[in-house]
A and B are shown apart, each in its own frame.
Chain A
Amino acid sequence: MRADRIWEIARKDMASVQRYRYVRLGLILMPLIFAVFIPLVLIYPVVAGEEAPKDNELPPFARPGMPSKEAMVAGLIDMATLMFMVIPAAIPSTIASYTLVGEKVNRQLEPLLATPTTDLELLMGKCMGAFIPTMLTTVASFVVFILVVDFLTLPLFGHMILPNLLSAVVLLVYAPLISLLSISWCVFISSKVTDIRAAVQLGALGVLPLMAFYVLFVGGILSLESLTLVAFALVLISASAGLFALGKVTFQREKILTRWT
């Protein structure tokens, strides 16, 4: 594998894709929702509320071992942190839909396939072109999220509650894995559909595994112990490895030209 070829493909994809309004909108809107809107709407009212919720009214995801108001706020912060995984799950489907399905329907893949690059280099380039903007957006939004949350909750806790272990795991482990999983899923989808919108929608199914995790957490079935975190990481690793392998089988010159109808 030649890194310069991979990088060149990724760079071209990033340059191409930023011209699409829909992609730019996603790159701006997502961070706004998850870094600013959710903390303000979900967390701030509880922080500012006069009355603390009663102990027996606490939802299952509240953090144990704290006074009720703090427990409630800390639980909500965990919830918002987990929700953050929607960004690396959703952004790739917009980008990869343009760089794969879009290029397929515009018949831009054939000249690319005629170059002396290997199938794997092309695939890696395409993946990287979606991965980099996704991770940049995720990290940037996360920084804003941490600042907003700490600013809102500093008076309550008396110290900066973020970053904590969960946020570090989400940002450094889950987000890249989810992004990879989602991109690989999009590669597979691209071989089946010929419509960018359909690709975006099907690609968004990449959020499913984390929705499952999220629901289990909010419902109190999973608590955020290290064991759970490790188990979820393992689930993500195997799912993304499996999907990447599927993407690799899908992304072969001959198939792209003759079977990706």
Chain B
Amino acid sequence: MIRLERLTKEFDGLTAVDGLTFEVEEGEIFGLLGPNGAGKTTTVRMLCCLIKPTAGTAFVGGLDVRKDAIEIREMCGLLPEAPGLYGELSAYRNLEFYAKLYGVPRSKREENIKKLLKMLDLWDRKDDPVGTFSKGMQQKIAIARSMVHEPRVLFLDEPTAAISPEAAKVVRDFILELKHERCTIFLCTHNLDEAERLCDRVAILNSRLIAVGSPSELEKSLGLGKTEVHLERVSEEIVRAVEKLDGVRDVEVSGNKLLVGVRDPDEVNPLIVETVVGHGGRVRYVTRTPHALEETYLKLVREGESG
């Protein structure tokens, strides 16, 4: 759906985005991660044909960002970093204005707006000026605005950065719901938990592309993944047996918990459980260590900076 080919942007000597090449599949939720100033916003702006690449190119829905700007903008929705709503106009009017600019036919306009506002739980506030809304509500309206024309590709630049955890959850659930509608979603975020929960694949960017893959693939490739086995009681015997398994890097004990470094959890986790049970262990539950993506990310970004 989206294909970047050595996509590059320079601003008077500063290379903000340097030769990005990767692809995003149709219907995928794709996360773009990177530190401040990594070029995430710049990349999204190029993909939405707001600014032109200085070298390389990208294709959105098969169209070239250098040539087919209007057609690409027609099929894309953008949630920019700042919501930029018209505070003096009502929620409904804000959305209606954009629906018209996107050429949504009259009959569909009301239907789409109603559907979105209802999904986001703001239908009863539709006639109130947006300026009176809380930040989280404004962000929801801005998301609705980016979708009034039922785009095939949606670009979300830090959709949950400035809002409360509750509002962020509504937004995340909403994004997951869109996935069922086969909308391709390109998400910039700093929130690694969010990326891990939402994204099928992520790219890590620091002006250059550092890595791309599914969160678990990335963890695997760095061998950072850990499996936590919570037991009723840990014994020496169990620890030694698990350490001997193929594909286990190391084992740490912390209270009643085994922290097992594994390369490929899908393959090794069942073996670990079998072994533990076989040695008389009683398993309470098994999980992956949380924040695995965070560690992966930090490691990759640091490596990227030093290399």
Chain A residues in contact with chain B, CB under 8 A?
Answer: 4-5, 8-9, 12, 15-16, 19, 103, 106-118, 253-254, 257-258
- CB distance B89 to A114 under 8 Å? no
Closest to B12 in A: A258
Q: Which residues from B are CB-within-8-Å of A117? A: 101
Return the contact of A16 from the options B74, B88, B142 (Cβ within 8 A): B88
Q: By CB atoms of chain A within 10 A, which of B73, B86, B93 has the most?
A: B86
> What residues of chain B lie closer than 8 Å to A110, measured between beta carbons?
50, 78, 80, 82, 84
Which residue of B70, B73, B82 contacts A107 across the interface (Cβ within 8 Å)? Answer: B82
Nearest A residue (CB) for B48 = A114
Q: Is the CB of A108 within 8 A of B86?
A: yes
Given contacts A15-B89, A16-B89, A257-B45, contact A106 B101 (CB under 8 A): no
Contact assessment for A9 and B88 in the assembled complex, using a CB-CB cutoff below 8 Å: no
Contact with A along B36-50 (1 / 0, CB 8 A): 000000000100101
Q: A12-B97, A111-B145 are in contact. Are A257 and B50 (CB under 8 A)?
A: yes
A108 to B94, CA, bound (A): 11
Q: Which of B45, B52, B74, B84 contacts A116 (CB under 8 A)?
A: B74
By a CB distance below 8 angstroms, the chain A residues around B74 are 116
Report 9 cross-chain contacts, Cβ distance below 8 Å, ordered by A residue.
A9-B101, A108-B85, A110-B50, A110-B78, A111-B84, A112-B101, A115-B101, A116-B102, A116-B103
Q: How far is the CB of B249 from chain A (nearest CB, A)?
A: 46
Chain B residues, CB < 8 A from A111: 78, 80, 84, 98, 142, 145-146
Chain B residue nearest to A5 in the complex (CB): B101
Contact of A113 among B50, B103, B142, B146 (CB under 8 A): B50
Given contacts A15-B89, A106-B84, 11 further A-B contacts (CB under 8 A): A4-B100, A8-B97, A8-B100, A107-B84, A108-B86, A109-B84, A111-B78, A112-B101, A117-B101, A253-B50, A258-B11
Question: Does chain A have a CB within 8 A of B76?
Answer: yes
Does B283 lie at the interface of the complex (its beta carbon under 8 Å from any beta carbon of A)? no
Q: How many A-B residue contacts, CB cutoff 8 Å?
A: 74
Q: Hey, which chain B residues are within 8 Å of A118, CB to CB?
A: 70
Q: Are A115 and B102 in contact (CB under 8 A)?
A: yes
Known contacts A12-B97, A108-B86, A254-B51: does B70 contact A114 (CB below 8 Å)?
no
Interface range on chain B (Cβ under 8 Å from partner):
20 to 34
Cα-based distance from A108 to B142 in the complex (angstroms): 11
Report which of A19, A106, A112, A258 forms a contact with B51, defined as CB distance below 8 A.
Answer: A258
For A17, the closest partner residue in chain B by CB is B88
Within 8 A of A (CB), among B60-104: 70-71, 73-74, 76-78, 80-82, 84-89, 93, 97-98, 100-103
Nearest-CB residue, chain A, relative to B85:
A108
Q: Which of A103, A106, A115, A254 has the most CB of B within 10 A?
A: A115
- List of 7 A-B pairs having minimum Cβ-Cβ separation, nearest first: A107-B82, A114-B78, A108-B84, A116-B74, A116-B73, A115-B101, A110-B80
Q: Which residues of A contact B80 (CB under 8 A)?
A: 107, 110-111, 114
- When distances are taken between beta carbons in the complex, the residues of chain B under 8 Å from A253 are 50-51
Q: Which of A12, A114, A258 contacts B86 (CB 8 A)?
A: A12
Chain A positions within 8 Å of B81 at CB level: 107
State whether B50 touches A116 (Cβ < 8 A). no
Q: Complex formed: what's the CA distance from A5 to B48 in Å?
A: 19
**A131 to chain B: closest CB distance in Å?**
19
CB of B52, distance to nearest CB on chain A (Å)? 6
Of the candidates A5, A12, A109, A114, the one whose C-beta lies within 8 Å of that of B73 is: A114
CA distance in complex: A170, B11 (Å): 47
User: Which residues of the other chain, A, contact B45 by a CB distance below 8 angstroms?
Assistant: 257
Determine the distance from Cα of A5 to Cα of B52 in the docked complex, in whole angstroms: 23
**CA distance in complex: A119, B27 (Å):** 31
Contacts A12-B89, A15-B93, A110-B50 given; does A115 touch B84 at CB 8 Å: no
In the complex, chain A residues whose CB is within 8 Å of the CB of B85: 108
- CB contacts under 8 Å to A, within B218-254, are none
A141 CA / B66 CA spacing, docked (Å): 48
Give the Cβ gap from A120 to chain B, nearest Cβ, in Å: 12
Q: Does the CB pair A114–B50 fall under 8 Å? A: yes
A16 to B130, CA, bound (A): 12
Q: State the CA gap A258–B45 with chains docked (Å).
A: 11
Report B-chain residues with C-beta under 8 Å of the C-beta of A16: 86, 88-89
Report chain A residues within 8 Å CB of B97: 8, 12
Chain B residues with Cβ below 8 Å from A257 are: 45, 50-51
Residue of A9, A103, A110, A258 with highest tally of chain B CB at under 10 A: A110
A169 to chain B, nearest CB (A): 38
Query: Within 8 Å CB of A113, what residues of B?
Result: 50
- Cα A110 to Cα B82 in complex, Å, equals 9
B73 touches A115 (CB 8 A): yes
* 8 Å CB interface, B1-36 against A: 11
Chain A residues near B51 (CB, 8 Å)? 253-254, 257-258
With a CB–CB cut-off of 8 A, which chain A residues contact B93?
Answer: 12, 15
CB distance from A179 to the nearest CB of B (A): 24
In the complex the two chains form, what is the Cα distance from A257 to B85 in whole Å? 17
